[in-house]
Structure 1
Amino acid sequence: MTMNKPIRTIAIFLMALFAALLINATYLQYYAAGRYNDDARNRRVVDAEFSRQRGAILVGRDPVAVSVKTDDLYKYQRSYPKPELYAGVTGYFAYGGAITGVEKSQNDVLSGDDSRLFVNRLIDLLGDKGPQGGDVELTINPKAQKAAYDALTSLPGNVKGSVVALEPSTGKILALVNTPSFNPNKIATHDFAANQKAYDALNADPDKPLLNRAVQMALPPGSTFKLVTASAAISSGKYDASSMVPGGPTYQLPQTSGESGLIDNEGRDCGAKTVKFTQAMENSCNTVFAQLAVQVGADAMQQQAEAFGFNSSWFDDLQGTNGKTSLATSTFPKDMNPPQTGQSGIGQFEVRATPLQMAMVAAGIANQGTVMKPYLVNEVQSADSDTVATTEPEKLSEAVTPATAREVTKLLVATVNDGTASPAAITGIQVAGKTGTAQSGQEDVPPYAWFVSFAPADNAKVAVAVMIESADIPRDDIAGGKWGGPIAKKVMEAVLNQ
């Protein structure tokens, strides 16, 4: 029997509809599934993720971010037991995909989507339990973290600054604090009107509490950069810690004339024409380090800075809301002329560094010249606390030879024993340190106070960088040693006295 034309037309039309339906279903479920799942407008996915029992962020055995049960639509509320102390580390997990810090960088683990947790997800699927996230254990030393936060916030007035402490031999971040800090619980709340109000207030705050100054702010490092200049000068083979170096009360930068190109030492004793290298570091002699930088040359200075981590990205354990990391890159300028090179030798011109970067410089010298890649995540665990992965320390570079590192260390020990870094001295322990006061370049912005140190000097367990952007301190009293040294001392003591 032959099918009549109307029936055949309808059959072909229905077949075409089924084919279109099949193609569309295949496209949506296979090709476009990932894009739709990642789309912030997909409320079903957002609600499901927000309702999941997210893993904990741990410092030792103590959670600094944890999901607790609730009676509302979303089942679990993200909670931060010590919010302001750890906000710069944990970040926050808020509705709609607003995630920062470790919450963002380790989101796959904490949400349970990480491939290393596949077996756990399968067990959860076959059992009665809903999907659970894995835990993330941090490298943070809780005593060092608290010491850093308490010391920084004890400065007078409205304090803006950061402290970073590293374990030189591994790159573990032992402390990372910022002030002003914020309370991530107010952003993570299920009261979305209150959530938005809190975020808007923090985002509009001129003191920028949401800014992670340890890794998102690069400022002129001032005289703490003299560690790099000293390393370059000693690596050139012309000097060691016992050498005489070019000094003087003033130094006219090459190719310049007048006040704009004149470097001075603000009255510190830096010799007539030459001075002992130890004395130059003890007194933080600008004339010495500007001349050393010019002698070494722009290319060698750039190579030395980059060997410590400048002009590159090497840290991914903290993330912001925009892009992959939204972290600041510490920069050392390229293609400088001689006067610019001289200024760079004292941490000015266009040299910029984050507190984490300057902690790495100190840690590299403390670790016999080897710079280790900094990391914050020590271990990934399943929801049952079984170890899934442990971070292995990774060498970033050989910044200087062990011999050069020992010579620079001698200079820094002398600076603590007899120079401007004496506020960081610890009884019975040899400490290496350096002060820094960097000009902001703006008349209405005060200088930045810096301090870097490590201890014990001959076998360092901790390296510290302190950056004080501003506090209620008279402009002419701003000094890295006076204000940053005691902070570094307390952090080092917290690590060493355990």
Structure 2
Amino acid sequence: MNRPIRTVSIFCMFLFLALMVNITYLQFWHAEELNTDPLNARVAEAAFSRERGEILAGEGRDQVTLARSEEFDDRYKYLRVYPKPRLYANITGFLTLGTQTGIERSQNTVLSGEDPRLFVTRLIDLAQNQSNKGGNVLTTLDPAAQQAAYDALLSTVGPEGEGSVVAIEPKTGRILAMVSLPTYDPNDLATHDFDASEQAYERLDEDDREPLVNRAIQTRLFPGSTFKVVTAAAAIENGLYSSDDNVPSGATWQTPGTTGESNVIDNEGRFQCSPEEVSFLTAMAYSCNTAFAKMAVELGPEKMREQAEAFGFNSDYLNDLSPQAQSVYPESVEGADGSQVELNDAQTAQTGFGQFEVQSTPLQMAMVVSALANRGTLMRPYLVEEVQSAEYETLETTEPEELRDAVSPTTADQVTDLMVETVANGTASPAAIPGVSIAGKTGTAQRGVEGLPPYGWFVSFGPAEDAEVAVAVMIQEAPGKEIAGGALGGPIAKAVMEAVLND
């Protein structure tokens, strides 16, 4: 063989080997990633051409269908339908050709029938010459609590308002309600009229109120005075004070190392906070900013951050719905020379009542009070209760998972006592339920922008001695109303707790 032919032969051999390596990689190592990629057109068309599983909530007679597939007379054979669209849109998400969000995305392999747990079902369908049916996903949501949260929030903030409600079962981490406003109709996006679907998506995506954002897990704001329960927990856990002690307070406090009125912390006219010392019960019940600012400085930023992180700040924790925003207790700030330095006393003081750079999602604040309600043990929150076959046979049930002990049982009990006093005789009284001991805390967080109204927050759980539900309410916008965490958030939390306790 002459040299040119040998060179061409060797080159062709290398091309052949490269082709074989690429095919092997795509078919074996990269196949699963390609098959689960929502942008894979072939997979997307296949999903439209089979009977996708249902998304469900509730049990027995109270069970409701959040999403199902209906036969449709076109090339795709099935149309995805959302029977209660606006109520559950932020959880179910939507399914379009090439796009999945919410539970539709996170549980896609189950709903499409491709999950390994549905292998036997696929074999039976194949043997019977039937098309492959998807499995069902039963969520942890309590339909009564979800409806109560939606109705109460909508009536409070109005059709142009923005906010969120999250309710958790403290002992397990089961998410009982998750509402985000404004909402949208996923049926407008699931249509097989792709031009109409694209127009609907563009309209929602360009809306300044961001209806496609799940505020429960994707929006983080200053938590304001609801963060005082974290500061109180840190103070008790570190042996600084107990719930029976007096704590430093005062009508005003110039933050250490600062000058000028802009750095003066006050109590917004709450005269109960004015003495230089008040009881811890009074400090919590009347939400004394000066008291919690001083506590934070006494503790220092490291201990404050450690306590916040024990409750879940600066981490991810929800596995079955994404994306989620991390709640933040700042690790450092930029110094004068551009380097990262620890928070100073003035900045730490602001964090004591949920300002400066402390930011939280509603789910995170629900986790804080849920851990306190569970005597200090923080459970991983979850939304998927069961994976089922198409015939509703249970294939797998989610087991509750302990994340960590956020505080000791003694600390949790003492913070609970402070929060019960806040509902019984303080700012959180709008959440009171006759005959039930309720623990709660209000929050009205300044935005840090002159002229804009604050954010309203409310957190609570009940019954305080053996909690069945913990709730966080966040009010971002309520046009035409004066935002105050207790006045607006308290009745919403009460409605959700009553829905769970009376179920």
When normalised by structure 2's length, the TM-score is: 0.91
State yes or no: 1:103 paired with 2:104: yes
Q: After superposition, where does 1:22-421 map in structure 2 within 5 Å? A: 23=20, 29-30=27-28, 33-34=31-32, 37=35, 42-60=40-58, 61-96=63-98, 98-157=99-158, 158-268=160-270, 269-319=272-322, 326-334=323-331, 335-421=342-428
> Can you list the C-alpha shifts for 1:369-425, whole angstroms capped at 9, x where unaligned?
111110000011011111110000001111111111111111100100100000000
Distance in 2 (alpha carbons) for counterparts of 1:35 and 1:397: 32
2:370 counterpart letter in structure 1: A
1:147 counterpart letter in structure 2: A
Distance in 2 (alpha carbons) for counterparts of 1:481 and 1:420: 6
How many Å apart are 1:32 and its aligned residue? 5.6
2:148 counterpart letter in structure 1: A
C-alpha distance 270-388 of structure 1, shift in aligned 2 (>3 A): same
- Which residue pairs with 1:323 in the alignment? none
State yes or no: 1:451 paired with 2:458: yes
> Can you list the C-alpha shifts for 1:292-350, whole angstroms capped at 9, x where unaligned?
0001111110100000000011112112xxxxxx3100000122111111000000000
- Which residue pairs with 2:495 in the alignment? 490
How many Å apart are 1:286 and its aligned residue? 0.2
- Which residue pairs with 1:322 in the alignment? none
Farther-moved stretch of structure 1 (143-152 vs 104-113): 104-113
C-alpha distance 457-197 of structure 1, shift in aligned 2 (>3 A): same
C-alpha distance 211-401 of structure 1, shift in aligned 2 (>3 A): same
Gapped regions of structure 2 (runs ≥ 5):
332-341
C-alpha distance 116-245 of structure 1, shift in aligned 2 (>3 A): same
Distance in 1 (alpha carbons) for counterparts of 2:241 and 2:56: 46
Distance in 2 (alpha carbons) for counterparts of 1:17 and 1:241: 76
Distance in 2 (alpha carbons) for counterparts of 1:337 and 1:103: 45
1:112 counterpart letter in structure 2: G
Gapped regions of structure 1 (runs ≥ 5):
320-325
> Can you list the C-alpha shifts for 1:204-262, whole angstroms capped at 9, x where unaligned?
00010001000000100000000000001111213222210001100111111121221
**Equivalent position SS for 2:488:** helix
Distance in 2 (alpha carbons) for counterparts of 1:285 and 1:78: 51
> Can you list the C-alpha shifts for 1:407-449, whole angstroms capped at 9, x where unaligned?
1111100100100000000000010000000011122532100
When normalised by structure 1's length, the TM-score is: 0.92
**Equivalent position SS for 2:80:** strand
How many Å apart are 1:163 and its aligned residue? 0.1
Farther-moved stretch of structure 1 (404-413 vs 442-451): 442-451
2:198 counterpart letter in structure 1: Q
2:77 counterpart letter in structure 1: K
How many Å apart are 1:52 and its aligned residue? 1.7
C-alpha distance 39-87 of structure 1, shift in aligned 2 (>3 A): closer
**Equivalent position SS for 1:452:** strand
C-alpha distance 28-89 of structure 1, shift in aligned 2 (>3 A): closer
Distance in 2 (alpha carbons) for counterparts of 1:237 and 1:145: 39
**Contact 2:171/2:379 (8 A) holds in 1:** yes
1:328 counterpart letter in structure 2: A
Distance in 1 (alpha carbons) for counterparts of 2:133 and 2:14: 41
1:483 counterpart letter in structure 2: L
Distance in 2 (alpha carbons) for counterparts of 1:40 and 1:430: 47
How many Å apart are 1:271 and its aligned residue? 3.4
How many Å apart are 1:30 and its aligned residue? 4.2
> Can you list the C-alpha shifts for 1:74-116, whole angstroms capped at 9, x where unaligned?
01111100000001111111111x1111111111111111111
Farther-moved stretch of structure 1 (379-388 vs 154-163): 154-163
State yes or no: 1:468 paired with 2:467: no
C-alpha distance 294-33 of structure 1, shift in aligned 2 (>3 A): closer
Distance in 2 (alpha carbons) for counterparts of 1:252 and 1:18: 75
**Contact 2:53/2:112 (8 A) holds in 1:** yes
How many Å apart are 1:119 and its aligned residue? 1.2
C-alpha distance 415-20 of structure 1, shift in aligned 2 (>3 A): closer
- Which residue pairs with 2:335 in the alignment? none
1:101 counterpart letter in structure 2: G
Distance in 1 (alpha carbons) for counterparts of 2:434 and 2:344: 44
Distance in 2 (alpha carbons) for counterparts of 1:303 and 1:395: 18
**Equivalent position SS for 1:177:** strand
Distance in 1 (alpha carbons) for counterparts of 2:37 and 2:421: 57
**Equivalent position SS for 1:237:** coil
1:117 counterpart letter in structure 2: L
When the two structures are aligned, how many residues end up with a matched partner?
481
Distance in 2 (alpha carbons) for counterparts of 1:101 and 1:212: 9
Distance in 2 (alpha carbons) for counterparts of 1:381 and 1:355: 29
**Identical aligned pairs, as a percentage?**
56
Farther-moved stretch of structure 1 (191-200 vs 156-165): 156-165
Distance in 1 (alpha carbons) for counterparts of 2:388 and 2:197: 30
**Equivalent position SS for 2:321:** coil
Farther-moved stretch of structure 1 (174-183 vs 230-239): 230-239
C-alpha distance 261-126 of structure 1, shift in aligned 2 (>3 A): same
Distance in 2 (alpha carbons) for counterparts of 1:41 and 1:228: 42
C-alpha distance 30-260 of structure 1, shift in aligned 2 (>3 A): same
Farther-moved stretch of structure 1 (199-208 vs 156-165): 156-165
How many Å apart are 1:18 and its aligned residue? 13
Distance in 2 (alpha carbons) for counterparts of 1:270 and 1:123: 70
